[in-house]
Structures are given as C-alpha cells and as structure tokens.
C-alpha cells in the first residue's frame, strides 16, 4: 500500500484518530493480523513522511489501537464503520491507551520501534 487511499482520509484530507481507526477496521476485516498490521504501518508511515514527520510513527501505539479494533471486530464483524463506532464509542476516546500504557513507557525508543507490553493494564485479548 504505497499511499493512504482517499476514502480513508477525512473531509479536509486529514488523517486523524478517526481515520486511523477506519484504516485499522478496514485492514483487519480484509486481511489476517500480520498482513493487516504491515499494511496499517505502511499507510501511517506514508502519511507521516508526507507531512515531514517520519519519526512520528509509533509501533506500540499502532498495534495497541489495532488490538482494540480487532477485539471489537470479533464481537461485531458485520457492522459498517459508522455503525461500528456507534456501537463502540470508547474507541474514539484518545485516552483509552493511557489506561494501559504509562506515558514513560510509550516515550521509550523500544515502544516506538517494536511492540512492548502494557505496564498498567493488559489489553483486551491482545491479537
């Protein structure tokens, strides 16, 4: 996936939290976990590089959000994306991650480049 498909971008071409969730939702519905994570990473890295901030990619954050999405997809796989977010509005809470990972852990280079386990609370059924 060389670029983020236009259908995943927001109304003004933005790629914020909701768009990250849509990307994860789509890729996890269409591909097995490993392929989905690779495609999600590639798309996010592309956006970061296009905005002159390749250092913004964070492996643990990406995989954690994918795990949250996958957990809920297992419960309601047939919903379209808007229905999915209506059913699971907690995914829109950017603070969800901080209930599982401390800021100190997420700030480490290890967390940025590889998966690190949460230090506050386990993720629900981590992929």
C-beta of residue 16 within 8 angstroms of C-beta of residue 22: no
Question: What radius of gyration, in Å, describes the C-alpha atoms of the chain?
Answer: 14
Task: Identify the pLDDT of residue 3.
Answer: 57
Long-range pairs, 30-33, Cβ under 8 A, ≥24: 33/70, 33/127
**16-64 tens-digit pLDDT:** 899 999 999 999 999 999 999 999 999 999 888 887 888 889 999 999 9
* This prediction's pTM: 0.87
Q: For all residues of the chain together, what is the average pLDDT?
A: 89
Buried/exposed code over 1-36 (b: 16+ C-beta within 10 A; e: otherwise): eeebeeebbeeeeebeeebbbbbbbbbbbeeeeeeb
Q: Name the token pair of 15.
A: 């790629």
Question: What does the CA dihedral 21, 60, 127, 48 come to, rounded to 10 degrees?
Answer: 40
pLDDT tens figures, 55-105: 889 999 999 999 999 999 999 999 999 999 999 999 999 899 999 999 999
Residue 2 in this model has a pLDDT that exceeds 50:
no
Parse the chain into domains and list their residue ranges.
6-113
């Amino acid at each position: 996936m060389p670029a983020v498909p236009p259908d995943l971008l927001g109304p003004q071409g933005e790629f914020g939290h909701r768009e990250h969730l849509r990307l994860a939702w789509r890729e996890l519905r269409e591909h097995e976990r490993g392929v989905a994570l690779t495609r999600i990473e590639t798309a996010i890295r592309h956006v970061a590089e296009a905005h002159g901030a390749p250092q913004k990619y964070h492996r643990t954050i990406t995989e954690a959000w994918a795990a949250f999405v996958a957990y809920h997809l297992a419960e309601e796989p047939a919903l379209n994306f808007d229905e999915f977010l209506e059913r699971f509005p907690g995914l829109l809470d950017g603070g969800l991650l901080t209930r599982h990972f401390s800021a100190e852990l997420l700030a480490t280079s290890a967390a940025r480049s590889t998966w690190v386990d949460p230090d506050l609370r386990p993720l629900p059924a981590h992929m």
